[in-house]
Structure formats: structure tokens, C-alpha cells
Amino acid sequence: MTVKPKHESSSSEEDIPLKATVSNTKASTLKKVKKVRKVAPKKEESSEEEDDEALSKAVKKRKKVRKENASKTKKIKIEDAIDSKVEKTNPDDKSDDSDTFRWWEQEENGDNTVKWVTLRHNGVMFPPEYVPLPSHVKLYYDGKPVDLPPQAEEVAGFFGGLLESDHAKNPVFQKNFFKDFLDVLNENGGTRNNIEIKSFEKCDFTKMFEYYQLQREEKKRLTPQEKKLIKLEKDKLEEPYKFCYLDGRKEQVGNFKLEPPDLFRGRGAHPKTGKLKRRVYPEDIVLNLDKDAPIPVPPAGHKWGEIRHDNTVQWLCMWRENISNSFKYVRLAANSSLKGMSDYKKFEKARELKKYIDLIRAEYTKNLKSKVMLERQISVATYLIDVFALRAGGEKSEDEADTVGCCSLRYEHVTLKPPTTVVFDFLGKDSIRYYQEVEVNKQVFKNLSIFKRPPKQPGHQLFDRLDPSILNKHLQNYMPGLTAKVFRTFNASKTMQDQLDLIPNEGTIAEKLMRYNAANRKVAILCNHQRTVTRGHVTSVQKATEKIEELEWAKIRYKKAILQLDKSQLKKDPNFFREIDDLTNEEQQAIHKRLIEREREKYNKKFIRENDKRKFENEELLPESDLQSWLASVDELEKQYAEELESGIVTVKPALQDVDKLRSQIEKLEQRIATSSLQLKDKEENSTVALSTSKISYIDPRLSVAFCKKYNVPLEKVFTKALREKFQWAIESADANWRFCET
């Protein structure tokens, strides 16, 4: 799992003398960490109340809406209706290439507010209804099988499915799950065989877990044809929801599937993790379509919550979720024109920053010494956002994970080491740790120490005068539309461009690609884009390390062999033999053991496989003696190695009893060691860095397009199919000389 250090704040508080007067920070004005939310007092407490309130509100609204819309709903077969309405420009052409709306070739249209004129779609795809488990699969309580009502069984099953995951071991997750589970159980009349469930500890979900495992395996075992058939079926069901018509053009919908009910999997130390995310019904859903659009037919026996005709937004459907009472949307896919246009605008905005960045940097550097505390804070914050690509850092409520960004940094997140070293250590978005020990501008250092002066202490806001909206308002003074996040985009793309500029236009495609990825990695590190190490990472690193050790061992062994043939070599080239005693006896022994072990395994496997094959083909089986003789040869080798270790004299194949031959073997081994080491290093460095996020969101795609054109690298080597679709606008508009900004 990701590192989540709640490290002690080392209080290395140097009192830095300061010339400029700073407005006094009274303890009373300090924002406390855990600010009591500034919401209406009732909202505070119990989640049941909250849910009830939200529910009844929603119900009222729904009723109102239903009344309003009752007359509107026409029962038309929606698909036909949509298709008949659409005048296709090229009716027979199925290739989506010519279907695509090349908005980037159009005159730029300044109006942002109206997103479409017509919008038609089939609503959202509902998840299947719950299918109760077979009667032999049950939750056990205190050793006894429990008869649960299906609604409660479903919730128990959610937990059962996660049994071996970290979530299920998290006490907060358990507690939240158990409470919601009991609620559902009680709402549905309790257990049906009079077992009273009281304690989580007495619940045994293993039967459920095993059942899901079994199902999964069965699914895997299906023949390719069966799998294909199932997929075909699935595609057919999804088809109507995959596309919508936006201004008459067929466009892909992104998340056309409703989120199924589940246990909420909050990230980091989320207080609500494990709570039941309840099933969403048509009555919960608001549809957004144009006024004349046919209304999709809701599932039988149901009605839509509301029909809206708001062409200033880009969503198709929306509903409120019950975990934090916020909205979820069905929206267009990444390859759609609307998404493409906003993406384009995002990067153009970032490029525009280039025109102002020098001035902004000069000003914040100057204002680091401002007499006004707020200005100092703005300057330091802007500096941190600009130099270290921090996020804005809005305030969070108590029922979310405790994570911070720039403006919400607290005393304990920043450690100062004079003269100018700063250690950042905090949990950012998604509870990803940001840990950096960096050198900062002298005045920034001074200011940070002022921001940390008593009476401030751990828990207090570093920037007590600042929040993202103040900061953003300040930034707008420089450039319209400038906000904190623009700096991240700007610096990421700028970094990428600078890094790509350093790559020589030579070598193989593989080499160029490696360098492209190295540039990408620089950006990812700047943005602190991390990933958890994959399941097999530790073992695979170990394997690779052992492999290198073995190559080293083989190399040393050959060097010894050379000396056995010709002692005078040592004098001629002592450096070459320097490493000859590098491996201790224990290390050699360990290597021997691995090599021997592997040999044995190899023969054992070979024997089994060979006989399996023969059995299948009705041939005579190999006698056990064959295996024994193979293994005997391994025993022989083992003995040989042991003797070598004892005597220090190595035995090499007769063919290699020659100094020159040995030398050329050694050279080959050295090559292999070099490549393997490089690969290992790459693997290690990449194990915690996620390259994809910056590629998808921060690096102007035109940089990659220009790189590919200029360096003759096929585009599909750097952009997956999905990315090529998403960035079609960039692919078609950037040439080999395109620049993000002048350097």
C-alpha cells in the first residue's frame, strides 16, 4: 500500500531574525486544523439523520418533478427516434474518421456557456438486480448459518467479496460496514432464522468469499468461444447507451453505466470508508436533454427523477450519492468534441501563462518582503505552487481524509533546516505522500519560519490568511483565468518540452522511446504522481538482483580460470582481477544453492511434462531411472561446486581452457551485467512513479506529436489507442516544429 506516514513533526524551530515588520498573529485568529465545519449545526452529527434529510428532500423534489413531467413523457422507441431525427451527412460511411467533428479546424468560438443546441441520448445503463446466493452459501454467525433477507445478504456479500483485501482488515471499514449492514438487516425484518447478529467478530464471511472465488475461476475456465459469446451479448446490451447525439453528431458517452451499489472504498484514512453506497434508482436520476428530445423510457415500473434541458452544462445524467451527498454525472467520453475543446483550452491557457510568468515571478520574489502579512503569504504560496507544483489545497471537512495542498499546509508538514533547506512531508490528494527535502529561496525560508512562529504549533495553518479563492483572485490580476492549477499544467508541459529538447535525434526507436519516457518521468516526479508497487515487484526485483549476482559469480569464476592457466596475467593486468575475491564463501554458497536448486527443478519439471505428453499420446513413459540419472548429474555439479569452494580451484569446460576464449566470455558477461543492471535500475525507479497521469492530463499532447514527427517515432509507441482518440485534435494540428512555448 501507499506510504502514509503520520510522522512526528520534528520541531526544528530556528528563530530567524527578521527586519520587516509582520503583522502579529494572534492565537485567536489562527485557524485550527480541525476546524469545526461552518455548516448548520444540525448537519453535523449522525449520518442517519443526514441520509433521512437528504432522502426526504430528494423525494419531495422528485414528486414535484414527476408532476411537472408527467404529461411530457412520450413512449417512443428511443433509439429509432434518435436515429430518425439525425440527418447524417454521409449516410453510408461507417468509418468514424469522416464522422468526427473537426472542431479544431473551425473558427474559434468565444462563447463558453452554451455547450450544445441539441442533445439526445438513451439515459444510463442500470446494473443488474441483485441475485440471491444459492442456499448453501451463507454468512455464519457464531458458527451457525444465517438466513438473511436478500437486501442484507447483498451487503454482507459486498464485504465477503473483499475479505482478503486490505479494506476488510481496516477497523474503520469494518465498523462502517457493520453498522450499515445491521441497518439494512433491521429495515428488512432481521434474520429469518432468529439469529441475532450483534458482533462483527462473530461473523464469518468465508463461505461467501469462497463462492465468489469459485465463480471467478469458473468464468476464467470458459472456452474462448463461450467468452466471445458472452461479450457479444454484453455489447448488445450496452450499445444503446454508448453513444449520444450532440448537435446531431454521434459522440461517445463516457461512464454510461450507473455505479452499482457497493461498500464505499475511500482512500487513505477516510472516516466513511466501508459505508454502504446504496443502489441508485431511476427516481434518483436527473436527465439532461434538449427540449424536443424524446425522453428515454425508464425501466419498467419506474420514473425518472427529473428531466432537465440545460444546455450550459455537458452532463447527460446526474444523481446524488449517499456517501458525501454530492453529485455524480454521466458525461461524454474523453474523445468527444466537448472534452477535446476544454482540453485544448486548458493547454492554451497554460501556454498563455508564459507571457506573464516572468512578471509574476518577479513580483512574488519582491513581495516576499512585503510588510503586509497577506502579501507575504500569497508570495510564498505562489512560489511553492510555481516551483514545486503543489496543488491549491482547499479546506476539507472532518468527514473526509485529512489531506492537504499548498494553502492548507499545516505547521507539522514543513520542517526547516537552516540555512535554506525545507522538508515537506504531508499527504496530498488521494492520501499520496509528498516528501521532498529541498533548497528554497532565502526569503522564502525566512517567511516560512515566520509562519511557524509561536504561538503557532502543530495543527495550525501555515497560511492562516490564505485560501485558494484569495490566491486565485490575486492571480487573476495578472492574467484572466489564471488559477493555481494552471501553474501545474504550465510547468509540467514546459518541463516536458525542455526535456525533449535535450534528446539527440539519433539511435534506434527504442532508444528514443526510452528517452521520451525518461522525460515523461521527470514530469511525473515533478507532479508527484505515484503508484503503489505492484504485487510482484519485490520478488521480481529480488530475482533480477540474484540474476546479476550470478552473472558476477560466473565472471569471477572465469577470471579465476584464467589465472589458473596463466599466473602471469595477474601482474600484467592487476586491475582486471581486482574483484576476484569480492564474493564471500557464504555468498558463493548461496549462489551455488540457487543454481543447483534451479537445475533440479528444471529436470523434475521436464520429466513430468514429458510424461504428461507421452501419456496423452499413448506413448511409452520415461522410466523413473531417467529422472534419477538426470538428477545424478546435478548432484555431480553440486559436488563440483562444493569442491571449488573448498580448494579455490575452478573447473571449466575443456573448450574454455584458453585465456582468449575466457576473456571473450567475460566480456559477454559484462555486457549482460550492464544491461541487466540498467534494467533493474529502471525498474526500481519506475516502480513508484506513475507516468500515465501526466501524459493524460498535464503534458500538452502536441509536444508528443511534434516529438514523434521530428524523431520519426511511430505515434502509437507513445499514445495508446484511447489516447490517440482523445488527442486527435493535437495529432492533426501539430507539426514537427510545434512548440509549447518559446524557451
Q: Which one of 153, 283, 306, 343 is in contact with DNA (CB under 7 A)?
A: 343
Q: How far is the CB of 219 from DNA (least distance, A)?
A: 8
What is the per-residue DSSP string for 458-483? Answer: TTBBSSTT--HHHHHHHHHTTSTT--
Q: How far is the CB of 432 from DNA (least distance, A)?
A: 5
Annotate each residue in 532-561 with x if it binds DNA (CB under 7 A) or - if it does not, as one string. Answer: x-x-x--xx---------------------
| CA atoms within a 13 Å half-sphere pointing along the CA-CB vector of 57 | 9
Q: How far is the CB of 142 from DNA (least distance, A)?
A: 29
Amino acid identity at 113 = T
3-state helix, strand, coil in the chain (%, to 5): 50, 10, 40
Q: Which one of 2, 365, 569, 676 is in contact with DNA (CB under 7 A)?
A: 2
Q: Which one of 5, 189, 260, 419 is in contact with DNA (CB under 7 A)?
A: 260
Which residues have CB under 8 Å from 538's CB, separation 6+? none
Residue 70 near DNA by CB under 7 A: no
The stretch near DNA (CB under 7 A) out of 150-158, 308-316, 566-574, 577-585 is 308-316
Q: Which one of 170, 443, 489, 704 is in contact with DNA (CB under 7 A)?
A: 489
Q: Which one of 379, 431, 443, 491 is in contact with DNA (CB under 7 A)?
A: 431
Distances 741 to 4, 233, 703 between C-alpha atoms, Å:
37, 49, 10
The DSSP bridge partners found for residue 435 are 425
Closer to DNA by CB, 141 or 630: give it. Answer: 630
Q: CA-CA distance, 428 to 65, in Å (whole number)?
A: 40
Of residues 28-47, which lie at the interface with DNA (CB under 7 A)? 37-40
Q: Which one of 82, 148, 287, 432 is in contact with DNA (CB under 7 A)?
A: 432
Of residues 671-690, which lie at the interface with DNA (CB under 7 A)? 683, 690
The stretch near DNA (CB under 7 A) out of 262-270, 497-505, 629-637, 699-707 is 262-270
Which of 445, 323, 318 lies closest to 380 in space, CA to CA?
445
Q: Which one of 7, 175, 179, 265 is in contact with DNA (CB under 7 A)?
A: 265
Of residues 135-194, which lie at the interface with DNA (CB under 7 A)? 165-166
Q: CA-CA distance, 580 to 666, in Å (whole number)?
A: 13
Of residues 222-251, which lie at the interface with DNA (CB under 7 A)? 231
Q: Which one of 698, 707, 711, 740 is in contact with DNA (CB under 7 A)?
A: 698
Closer to DNA by CB, 191 or 335: give it. Answer: 335
Q: Is-contact 650 640, C-beta < 8 A?
A: no
Closer to DNA by CB, 127 or 419: give it. Answer: 127
Q: How far is the CB of 359 from DNA (least distance, A)?
A: 19
Query: Torsion angle of alpha carbons 330, 336, 341, 343, nearest 10°?
Result: 70
Q: Which residue has the cell 433509439?
A: 79
Helices (DSSP H) in 288-424: which residue ranges? Answer: 337-367, 373-388
Q: Which one of 721, 737, 742, 743 is in contact with DNA (CB under 7 A)?
A: 721
Q: CA-CA distance, 53 to 502, in Å (whole number)?
A: 59
Closer to DNA by CB, 432 or 708: give it. Answer: 432
Q: How far is the CB of 718 from DNA (least distance, A)?
A: 9
Q: How far is the CB of 676 from DNA (least distance, A)?
A: 11
Q: Which one of 157, 296, 305, 393 is in contact with DNA (CB under 7 A)?
A: 393
Strands (E), 62-156: 119-120, 139-141, 144-146
Residue 264 near DNA by CB under 7 A: yes
Residue 62 near DNA by CB under 7 A: no
Closer to DNA by CB, 476 or 477: give it. Answer: 476
Q: How far is the CB of 391 from DNA (least distance, A)?
A: 3
Longest dimension (CA), the chain: 103
Q: CA-CA distance, 120 to 293, in Å (whole number)?
A: 6
Q: Which one of 151, 651, 697, 733 is in contact with DNA (CB under 7 A)?
A: 697
Closer to DNA by CB, 560 or 726: give it. Answer: 726
The count of other CB atoms within 10 Å of the CB of residue 606 is: 14
Q: Which one of 7, 31, 179, 257 is in contact with DNA (CB under 7 A)?
A: 257
Annotate each residue in 313-342 with x if it binds DNA (CB under 7 A) or - if it does not, as one string. Answer: xxx--x--x-x--xxxx-x-------x--x
Closer to DNA by CB, 430 or 573: give it. Answer: 430
Residue 120 near DNA by CB under 7 A: no
Q: How far is the CB of 56 from DNA (least distance, A)?
A: 15
Annotate each residue in 634-673 with x if it binds DNA (CB under 7 A) or - if it does not, as one string. Answer: ----------------------------------------
What is the DSSP secondary structure assignment for residue 131, as one 8-state letter? Answer: -
Residue 693 near DNA by CB under 7 A: yes
Query: Torsion angle of alpha carbons 115, 119, 121, 126, nearest 10°?
Result: 40
Total residues at interface with DNA (CB under 7 A): 86
Amino acid identity at 196 = E
Q: Which one of 98, 193, 469, 657 is in contact with DNA (CB under 7 A)?
A: 469
Is 698 marked active-site?
yes
Of residues 372-391, which lie at the interface with DNA (CB under 7 A)? 391
The count of other CB atoms within 10 Å of the CB of residue 156 is: 23
Q: CA-CA distance, 400 to 266, in Å (whole number)?
A: 9
What is the DSSP secondary structure assignment for residue 658, as one 8-state letter? Answer: S
End-to-end CA distance of the chain: 40
φ and ψ at residue 499, rounded to 5 degrees? -65, -45
The stretch near DNA (CB under 7 A) out of 11-19, 484-492, 560-568, 730-738 is 484-492
Which residues have CB under 8 Å from 456's CB, separation 6+? 25, 30, 411, 464
Closer to DNA by CB, 582 or 597: give it. Answer: 597
- The C-alpha cell at 700 is 500538452
Of these residues, 211, 383, 698, 711, which one is catalytic? 698
Helices (DSSP H) in 535-658: which residue ranges? Answer: 537-565, 569-572, 585-616, 624-647
Q: CA-CA distance, 195 to 184, in Å (whole number)?
A: 15
Residues acting as catalytic residues: 698
